[in-house]
Chain A
Amino acid sequence: RDFNERCAQCSEVNWGLTDGGRFYCRSCHNVTERTREVVNTDFITNSRVQTISKGLKKQEKNDGDCEWYICEGFQLVLKKQAEALEALGVCPQMKDEILCNFWRCYLQKSKQAYCKRPAGETVKALSVCESSTDVDSDPERPSLLHLLSLSESEGDLQTDCSFASSVSKVSESTSVYSGSVDGSLYLMKNQKEKLRMTMPMTLSFCYMALLWLREPITLSELLRFVVEGHIPYLNVFQHFPEKMKLCGLDLRIFCVESWPVYEEVFHKMHELAAFLDLPRFPDITDSCFLHPDMLCMKYLMEANLPDELHNWTCRVVKKIGIGEVDFLTLMPGNKSTRKVKYDVLAAAIIVVVLKLLFLLDDHYEWLLSEFAEERNKNNTEGGPYFEFKKWYEVVKQSLDVEQKKLDEEGAKYLWRCEKPLFYSVKNKSKVLKRRQMVVNLQNQFGKLSGSARRAEKPNPSSFQLSWSEENTDGSCFHGHSLKGVLQEKCGLLTAMNPDYWLCTVKLCNEKLCGHLAHYREVEFPQSYHFVLGLFSFLLRIQPSYIHDEVCMIEHKLFNKKLYKKLKYNTVLRK
């Protein structure tokens, strides 16, 4: 359709396409070397897989299997994840527009599609692809905005796509084996510069899209939903169509055996944003869910802390400027600014506020608690004063129960699914036999497990711990007052606690050692450790990451004092 060269034989411009995808002259039936590789990437709108045409040496698959590329697999994964997110309440725009455009951009940038050059360079390259679609008519790669605008004009993607021809299939004589066309290539090449796609990276894509849309789901929540099974991740390949056979090296790509780690998904997302040359993300303002003021409110509620503490978190946020739009909004590619972990940041702010008001040195907070207890005993009118001790006991109990449940669930987790996986056809029967035995044993011992049925997966919930003010046992602290901890000075409320201890005097270089500080439980007060532990549970990350953010906040907060101190020290040394 778009091929305008003149035929070498008859000089006509009257082209058609052979079954092999080659242009042939309708006048003289001359078949050219030029191919138009077409594939229907209509996975996004419908999941029918169309066969991909290959070069001359296309091998017919007789049993209805199709040839598929790794990135098509990932495309399916993303589709499933986007659907799940939509079911959780995310706006449909995420799936239909944002995510798929990010994906297309990625495919183009990583030269797996939408580009002039082939992605795979092998000995057997049969032809050079000359895609001639509208999109690539100009030699420059289109920007994301361009793609976004295109998607609005076209309904589906049927006409528009083109794939680079990774023409060669590794021949059967080599030992590498995969159900996909380019499985072995995918794993072999050093694609660091091109940001090779992995399963954890699918979550990076999701998070990136969520962030773009400023949806009220933090990264830790997203990962928690994955673990709880609300978002497909583990065993998502079982939803691949029958014709897409998964075996051999594909398993290494699509079968994960570990849960994604926050840090990994986070960093990959930023790498991705930079790789895709994305512009500045939409602004995170103080009306956004991800703004520290909002997140702090949520976490305060979940941690069963008094609402009054919110004033304090807002004050800290304001004082050190971490509520500013420019600080919070993501600017891809900007290496100088520290990337913001919204959830961890909010948790850390709360920890700092607790340190400000209660000191948390394993003495002072209990002292304050005793005073509050005395007051509460003698004076029952007016709201109760917040007692750290009571709060600690209530929260610790719930935390222990939940942690225990979580640990047991982790131990009982079933990683395998019904779809059998085998590395090669040779061990297929062995795999199937094993699977059958596993199922038998599960049945046999399942019956002996007693009435304890496997709990259905919990309904997705934003809150893991909840406290109700209606409970008469006083186990909800939201309405408690901070009066026992505060004093008025010059018309302003300040903390009675005059002291503060810094988590660290000097920050490490994060780029060198990965952390701003190094957290060791034994070096810090138990109360501090407990508070870190609480948020560590809620966010499902290691306490050390929250500790890092706490250090960062403290250094901003006490910047002047520290600076003076350091200056003084250097003066002395001279």
Chain B
Amino acid sequence: SSHEHKLNFRKSKEACLSYIQDALLQKQWKRAAEFLTCYVESLEKDYSRELIGPSEMIWRIGTEILWHHSQSSMKEFNCFMEQMKTLGVKRYLKVCLEHVFHLLCNGQIDEAYQNLSLAESWRFGEQTAVQDKEMKLIEAYRGLLDYYRWYKQKNILLEHSEDGFSDLAVEQEMHGYFRKAAVNLKEIIKIPGVWDVFVKCYVDLLEFYGDHNEARQVLNEYAYNSKFPANPNAHVYLYQFLKRQGESKKSLISALKILHDIVPSHELMIDFNTMLQKSKKRKKRRLGLEVIFAALDYAGWKENAKAWSCLARQVKQIVISEKHLDWIKQEWNSRKDWWPAFHFSRYLAKRNWQENKSLSYEKALVAGILLGKDCKYFRYVSHQGCKAQLKRFRMLKKFVNRHNPVYLRISG
């Protein structure tokens, strides 16, 4: 510990900041406020050479404290934010944006909208150009809130039409919001970035008004334009859209292909595998097997009965047809060292049996084929199943026994 009294202004304020940090981390809001009160006089000093100056510190710390402190009200919070907006013109839009986020978190949609509109009309010499990015975000969020208003109007309209009367005023308002929202949302998604929520809303609007071409184009851009960061959701949205549009399996499959490459553990892999299994093309069926094996590599899928049933179905089908056993062999090759402990331990056998009989059934089938009828998992489950006199387990036992040589061929 240092024995010297903090000798000067700078050191004193540094120490003050570290006390604030400690208090914030321990959620001691009162204490943080106490030290912040002492820190604010830093505003009167020139810190232009520092990376983060006192005004930014005070903004961020003050926001945290006011947001969490029990005695602080939204009114105080808003008042503080207004002060912060005047404090640094270079940060003006950023502060506005964060203020809006807080208002939204607090459910104050209208206030948020007002603030966004106000910020949109802000002009300040060359700063306007410098803060162009923030401005785009502000416009985008206002577009989002316009969408929200459109959405509400749409629901009102639907209610009314159900009740049997039409409401022209509401309809007009709705269209108005659509126009406003569309303009801004379209703008933001032109810029490379991750704009999931904006894209979804925009596509929703386009679909409602029947502009499917535009929607398709937007989604394609979002998913396939290399300037945009790789984003699994983009492919999910595209897939969902294509599905809604009733597109062919071929285009659906190609939409999901990339998703499989990026996120092999995605929940849509089940749909993907289902489609691929049914395909007439050999390559696709082969891919399907690869997809389902890859998904089950992930711990999150261990107890997913649906996934196991997909794998079981495909494996069963291959075994019965006696064609393409090499596919199974290929997939099993890289997994035979660790899947047994990962999926087919005796402990898991017991647990799966207790918790989810269907799951254990599907897994037992797969285990029986891949590891043979003498493997722990299969033996336990089939034994239990037969003891419980469940018909399908009896069938399972028979099936695996019959096809045991397959296992020998796979493992060899």
> Do A446 and B9 form a contact, CB below 8 Å, given A434-B44, A441-B62, A536-B3?
no
B39 to chain A, nearest CB (A): 9
Take A434-B44, A438-B41 as given contacts and tell me if A415 and B9 are in contact as well, using a CB distance cutoff of 8 Å. yes
In the complex, whether A158 has a CB less than 8 A from a CB of chain B is no
B10, B37, B76: the one within 8 Å of A442 (CB): B37
The segment out of A275-283, A403-411, A465-473 that lies at the interface is A403-411
Contact with B along A505-545 (1 / 0, CB 8 A): 00000000000000000000000000001001100111100
Interface of B is mostly: helix
Provide the bound-state CA to CA distance between A407 and B6, in Å: 7
A536 proximity list for chain B (CB < 8 A): 3
**Judging by beta carbons under 8 Å apart, are B7 and A448 in contact?**
no
A407 to B12, CA, bound (A): 9
**Per-residue 0/1 for B27-55: is the Cβ within 8 Å of any A Cβ (1 yes, 0 no)?**
00111011111101101100000000000
* Given A441-B62, A448-B69, A449-B33, also A414-B4 (CB < 8 A): no
Q: Give complex CA distance A309, B79 in Å.
A: 63
Minimum CB–CB distance from A465 to chain B (whole Å) comes to 14
List the A residue with the shortest CB-CB distance to B34. A449
A113 to chain B, nearest CB (A): 32
Q: Which residues of A contact B41 (CB under 8 A)?
A: 414-416, 438, 442
A425 at the interface (CB under 8 A from B): no
CB of A560 to closest CB in B, whole Å: 34
> Contacts A407-B15, A431-B44, A440-B83 given: A258-B8 contact, CB under 8 Å?
yes
A64→B55 CA distance, assembly (Å): 37
Per the bound structure, the CA–CA distance linking A542 and B1 in Å amounts to 12
Query: Once the chains bind, are B83 and A441 in contact (CB under 8 Å)?
Result: yes
Contact B15 A411 (CB under 8 A): yes
Interface flag for B123 (CB, 8 Å): no
**Shortest distance in angstroms between A518's beta carbon and chain B's nearest beta carbon?**
17
Determine the chain A residues whose CB is within 8 A of the CB of B65 once the complex forms: 445, 448
With most chain A CB atoms within 10 A of its CB, the pick from B6, B8, B62, B80 is B6
Q: Is the beta-carbon distance between A403 and B1 smaller than 8 angstroms?
A: yes
Pick the most buried of B5, B9, B44, B69: most chain A CB atoms within 10 A of its CB.
B5
Contact among A403, A412, A438, A541 with B43 in the assembled complex (CB-CB below 8 Å)? A438
* B-side contacts of A407, CB under 8 Å: 1-2, 6, 15
When distances are taken between beta carbons in the complex, the residues of chain B under 8 Å from A245 are none
Least CB separation from B28: chain A residue:
A450
Q: Is the CB of B87 within 8 A of A437?
A: yes
Question: Whole-angstrom distance between the alpha carbons of A180 and B69 in the complex?
Answer: 48
**Is there a chain B Cβ closer than 8 Å to A154's Cβ?**
no
| CB-defined contacts of B83 to chain A, threshold 8 Å | 437, 440-441
Q: Does B151 contact A (CB under 8 A)?
A: no
**Interface mask (B44-80 → A, CB under 8 Å = 1, otherwise 0):** 1000000000000010001001100101100010011
Q: How far is the CA of A403 from the CA of B29 in the complex (A)?
A: 24
Q: A440-B83, A446-B37 are in contact. Are A416 and B44 (CB under 8 A)?
A: yes
Q: Which residues of B contact A (CB under 8 A)?
A: 1-10, 12, 15-16, 18-19, 29-31, 33-38, 40-41, 43-44, 58, 62, 65-66, 69, 71-72, 76, 79-80, 83, 86-87
For the complex of A and B, 9 pairs with smallest distance between CB atoms:
A258-B8, A410-B6, A411-B15, A450-B30, A448-B33, A449-B34, A257-B9, A536-B3, A411-B16
A-side residues, CB < 8 A to B, are 227, 257-259, 261, 403, 406-408, 410-416, 431, 434-435, 437-438, 440-442, 444-450, 452, 533, 536-537, 540-543
> Could you show 20 A-B contacts with beta carbons less than 8 Å apart?
A259-B8, A261-B7, A410-B5, A411-B15, A411-B19, A413-B12, A415-B41, A435-B44, A437-B83, A437-B87, A438-B41, A441-B40, A441-B62, A442-B41, A444-B79, A444-B80, A445-B34, A448-B71, A537-B3, A541-B4
Contacts A258-B9, A431-B44, A441-B40 supplied; 18 other A-B pairs, CB < 8 Å: A403-B1, A407-B6, A412-B34, A412-B35, A412-B38, A415-B12, A416-B41, A440-B83, A441-B43, A441-B58, A441-B62, A445-B34, A448-B69, A449-B30, A449-B34, A533-B3, A536-B3, A542-B4
